[in-house]
Amino acid sequence: MNTIPSTVPHFAIAIDGPAASGKSTIARLLAERLGLIMVNSGAMYRAVTWKVLQENIDPHDNAAVLAMMDRIRIDCGHDGITSTIAIDGINPEEELRSEAINANVSAVSAIPEVRSKLICLQRGYLQHSSIVMEGRDIGSVVFPDTPYKIYVDADEEVRAARRTDAGEVDSVAKRDAADSGRKTAPLMVAEGATILDNSHHTIDSAVEAAIDILKQQGLEILD
C-alpha cells in the first residue's frame, strides 16, 4: 500500500468517465492503495432510481420524482472501504445494476433537483475523510477545485464488451448519449483533468497510470 502523509488535509480525487470505462475498478483499487474511502456517486443515482421504480413512478415525471425525493430519507455512509447508501433504511445494493435501473437511471439523474440533493451528500463525505469519488461530474461540478482529476475513457466496443462479459444488459452508448447531452452537469472532461485511455490497459497497469497522473498533478504519495 502506498500512503499519503498524515499531515495532508482532507482532499478528493475525482474520477469521471463514460459507462463501463473501468473507472469504478480504478477508483476502488486506487482508494485501497492510498488508504482512502471510495465513493461511488453512480450508486446514489441508481439507488434513487431503484426507489422511483419501486414506487411505480414514471422516471420522466419530474414532479412525481421530486415529490418522492422530499418524502424519502437517504443515508450515506461507508464501511471503511467504500460508500454505502440506504433509502428509508433499506440498502438496495444487490439490485442496483439491474436492466431496469440501467435503462432508467439517466432520466432520473438528468433532473437538476435530484442532482443538487445528491451533490450535497457527496460533498459531505469530505468532512470526514479523504476520498476517491467516481462519477460523471465529480471534477466539473462536485469538486471543481480539486487538483486531482482523472477522466477514464475507453473505446466504445471495449466498453460494451465489458458490460456483456459482466453479464449485464446495458446500452452503454444510449446512456452515454443521455449523460453527455443533458443540460445539467453533462459528462465532460473537467477543466484540469488528465485523460487515461483504458482501452488496452490491464487493471494493474491502469492503476499505475492513475498513480502517475496523480503524482504529476501534485499529490504527495509515499512509495
Q: Which one, 3 or 180, has the nearer CB to ligand CDP?
A: 180
74-78 and 83-87: which strand pairing? antiparallel
Part of the chain binding ligand CDP (CB under 6 A), chosen from 7-15, 37-45, 58-66, 211-219:
37-45
Which of 136, 149, 162, 201 forms a contact with ligand CDP (CB under 6 A)?
136
Minimum distance from residue 212 beta carbon to ligand CDP (Å) = 23
Q: Does 130 bind ligand CDP (CB under 6 A)?
A: no
Q: Which one, 136 or 149, has the nearer CB to ligand CDP?
A: 136
Which of 12, 20, 76, 196 forms a contact with ligand CDP (CB under 6 A)?
20
Part of the chain binding ligand CDP (CB under 6 A), chosen from 7-15, 39-47, 70-78, 208-216:
39-47
Q: Does 193 bind ligand CDP (CB under 6 A)?
A: no
Minimum distance from residue 207 beta carbon to ligand CDP (Å) = 17
Q: Which one, 40 or 130, has the nearer CB to ligand CDP?
A: 40
Minimum distance from residue 12 beta carbon to ligand CDP (Å) = 13
Q: Determine how many CB atoms are found less than 10 A away from the CB of residue 7.
A: 6
Q: Does 175 bind ligand CDP (CB under 6 A)?
A: yes
Query: Which cell goes with 217?
Result: 498533478
Given a contact cutoff of 8 angstroms between Cβ atoms, the answer to whether 76 and 121 are in contact is yes
Q: Does 45 bind ligand CDP (CB under 6 A)?
A: yes
Part of the chain binding ligand CDP (CB under 6 A), chosen from 26-34, 42-50, 147-155, 192-200:
42-50
Part of the chain binding ligand CDP (CB under 6 A), chosen from 30-38, 67-75, 76-84, 133-141:
133-141
Q: Does 41 bind ligand CDP (CB under 6 A)?
A: yes
Closest by CA position to 159, among listed 12, 18, 6, 16: 18
Q: Determine how many CB atoms are found less than 10 A away from the CB of residue 1.
A: 7
CA distance 84 to 79: 7
Contact set with ligand CDP (CB under 6 A): 19-20, 24, 41-42, 45-46, 105-106, 109, 135-138, 175, 179
